[in-house]
Amino acid sequence: MSNQAKVEVYYWTTCPHCIKLRSFLDGKGIEYIGHDITGDPAGKDKLAELTGGPKTVPQIFINGDYFGDEDDLYPLDAAGTLDSLLKG
């Protein structure tokens, strides 16, 4: 994807939702920066600061803005709007 938005994903390596989301992004050819916070209490605290509360994973940021979790991403893809959202 050319001129793609900056996508960041906070995840745990053993989280099934995280694995599914990362596989989904890979399958669509969406490049992202992954932040593995497995077993990292400081990483979870940083995530809570960035999200304004949630420490659950995965959490997605697009162009530095908090986007949500995978439940916020999949409906956009199903509606056909995800690709335009990710264009930079």
Residue 1, pLDDT score: 42
Check pLDDT > 80 for residue 2. Answer: no
Contact 74, 68 (CB under 8 A): no
Residue 87, pLDDT score: 81
Q: What type of residue is 5?
A: A
Whether the model clears a pTM of 0.95, i.e. scores above it, the answer is no
Contact 47, 87 (CB under 8 A): no
- Give the C-alpha separation, 77 to 40, whole Å: 31
- Who's near 72: CB < 8 A, 6+ residues apart? 60
H/E element holding 59? strand 59-62
pLDDT digits (tens, 9 = 90+) for 18-54: 999 999 999 999 999 999 999 999 999 999 999 999 8
> Which domains does the chain show, CATH number per domain?
7-85 (3.40.30.10)
